[in-house]
Structure 1
Amino acid sequence: MAPKPVLLSVSLCVLVLFNGCLAQSHPRQRQMGECRLNRLDALEPTIRTEAEAGVIESWEPNDQQFRCAGVAVARRTIEPNGLLLPQYSNAPELVYIVRGRGLSGILLPGCPESYEGSLQQSQGEQSRRLQQQQDRHQKIRYVREGDILALPAGVAHWCYNEGESPLVAISLIDTTNSANQLDQRRPRHFYLAGNPEDEFQQEHQRYGQRRRQQQRQHHLLAGGEHGPRQLGGDNVFGGFDAQFLADVFNVDIETARRLQGVGDNRGNIVMVESRHLETLRPRGWSREEQEREERRERERESERERERRPSPWRRDDNGLDETICSLRLKESMDDPSRADIYNPDLGRISTVNSLTLPVLRWLQLSAERGVLYKDAMYVPHWNLNAHSVCYATKGRAQVQVVDDFGETVFDDEMREGQLLIVPQNFAMVKRASSEGFEWIAFKTTDNAMISPLAGRTSAIRAFPEEVLANAFQISREDARRLKFSRHETALAPSIRSSSESASARIRSVV
């Protein structure tokens, strides 16, 4: 039986709309000449936006280092029972949960409300009215420390802290991604509620206040037959006429003004009035049950990927064969059993890319999670095809970065809360302090690759001995020693630290 034309048209419209939201063109819209850097810095946030139930700290996006990578970064701290107001941005976003736990809603356009309240069985008129009033909404995801969320451009989302300690999330917005056709210099957040402040530019906040004062005076003078118009807050509804909103939603004028955020001074993160956010969601799941369900989701997605893998005579998919509404948008990066590189004495490296989280193929982003134990090293390496935006989540490390001229552009300690941008192909090495070091690194391509300079899989190991001997003007024996001195891959013990410890023990004995 042929599909109904109306249903077919609606389905195609939804798929094309969301495919356009996710689809990326190549190459990326990077600005030429932005990465002529002769010095890098470990940066602290410079802009602070306080709210009723938390704080948002961000790094100045017009800093030369951020312009090189074409990204912006913000750190959000949500207090217990705090709600980050619904919003969307003009560019794709990756969010890593540094600590805490909560709930996240990501609203995919055109998808059904798959979470709905139970229906009553009575057939009475009152019961039917109650059935119509049952809450229903799109899927809610549990998030906890170590999770990473992928947010396509223009997709609305919210986050709630249901734990007993602050929820801290670090967020990267890829402003020069081809999905962003609005503003390549500065991320823009469009809030759907409240009276939020600009998270990335304090000067813009002051400009916005002056602009609203001018608009308020203009509306008071030009009220027309309906009388003076009351200007709303800085959310998307704030600029519409309140009467229009009342007609659109079929609500009274007071509710329409509530939509506009009139008189709302709570900021971007608000306190939930009740002691707990009541939503429809599966209850009573243990952590093991949640992990089991996440594994099943990954298996189902892998099966779909195998089924839709392009054949040699097919250029690529057009997105119409994807199951848009069941996209997996979350991945855990803190499970040691899923590490890509692991050494029980040194640490681990975990990655998430378009192979493990396929939605990243459209976002053109990926991430690396690293844990170094005491005095362990992440051997010198470079990123082949991406800039790296590294945020320290715990501990301290000595970090060095070298540019294409062989100049040291960074040689300093990096500590928790600092951020370092390493441009593509710049070589970098990390050595953890005595307290260890942990980080999350966002990469500006969907399948970032590294090339080590030392170790079993390094470029040095791959060269013939004769090439090394002539290139470095050393003997064949020294070239062989150079090639085979390290048997580890990416993680290695610090020989200097070991010798220093041995010397200290000898001195203590003497």
Structure 2
Amino acid sequence: MVAHDILTFNNGIFTGFTTDFVKRAWDVDDDTAKALIGNQKGQDIVKLDASVKMHEPKPDHREGMALNCEKAPLDTYIKNAGNVVLLNTKNLPLVGQVGLGADLVREVVVSKLWVLMEKGYWKPHVKEGNLLIVPRFFVVSKIADPEGLSWFSIITTPNPVFTHLAGSIGAWKAISPEILQAAFKVPAETEKLFRSKRTNDAIFFPPPN
């Protein structure tokens, strides 16, 4: 649930008080109090008249407040597969105070979307403009259509750590053959075949030829 206080407009907080109360709180006369409370007839968002000039911040005021992910250095680049820019406290310290992080993934040529649920999986077909919310600790996998896929994710931690289950940096690669054989209950030949795959690809996998 998200709550926010509306200080003005015709549904603002002060419309719930008497004019006399507002007059005393703001130390103004009756007419001024009525004007401050009642003149604005809009709700939440209003379009300003063209004659209204707003204060423009100076360029240095934006420092540390925003990061252009499309121009930021890449955190990950996979040739013929895609690239990632990760938003965290290193390139935008402000997110540490907000408690959120993000990543921008572009030009992925590998993707449908799979979300591993407690009982099976869910396979939505995501299109441009869609918003998808994935519960915390759920596993996500994406497979792109021929035209490719790009997405922007908001992450509920300012310094996320990603664990990959496939590819050259997959978690399985750090586990001994004996443990993998026992865990999957397969013979050594199957484990060797499994380990020999995806030795040069990581994170994004180019489409098969």
- Whether the aligned pair in 2 keeps the contact of 1:371 and 1:437 (CA below 8 Å) is yes
* 2:78 partner amino acid: N
* 2:68 partner amino acid: S
Q: Aligned pair in 2 of structure 1 residues 275, 482: CA closer, same or farther (>3 Å)? A: farther
> Aligned to 2:106, which of 371, 375, 381?
371
Pair 1:399 & 2:176 matched: no
- Whether the aligned pair in 2 keeps the contact of 1:349 and 1:371 (CA below 8 Å) is yes
Any gaps of 5 or more consecutive residues in structure 1?
1-185, 196-233, 283-289, 298-327, 378-397, 499-510
Question: Equivalences for 1:85-484 in 2 at 5 Å?
Answer: 186-195=1-10, 234-249=11-26, 251-260=28-37, 262=38, 264-274=40-50, 277-282=53-58, 297=63, 328-335=64-71, 337-373=72-108, 375-377=109-111, 398-404=112-118, 407-408=120-121, 410-484=122-196
- Whether the aligned pair in 2 keeps the contact of 1:351 and 1:368 (CA below 8 Å) is yes
Give distance in 1, aligned partners of 2:76 and 2:46: 40
TM-score by length of 1: 0.37
Greater share of residues in strand: 1
* 2:54 partner amino acid: E
Give distance in 1, aligned partners of 2:61 and 2:76: 22
* 1:399 partner amino acid: L
Deviant stretches of 4+, over 6 Å? none
Deviation string for 1:234-261 (max 9, x for gaps)?
112222332443455454534423332x
* 2:96 partner amino acid: R
- Whether the aligned pair in 2 keeps the contact of 1:367 and 1:441 (CA below 8 Å) is yes
Offset of residue 265 of structure 1? 4.0
Offset of residue 450 of structure 1? 1.6
* 2:43 partner amino acid: G
Matched length: 208
Give distance in 2, aligned partners of 1:344 and 1:256: 64
Pair 1:493 & 2:206 matched: yes
- Identify the residue that residue 301 of structure 1 maps to in structure 2: none
TM-score by length of 2: 0.82
Deviation string for 1:99-142 (max 9, x for gaps)?
xxxxxxxxxxxxxxxxxxxxxxxxxxxxxxxxxxxxxxxxxxxx
* 1:333 partner amino acid: C
* 2:14 partner amino acid: F
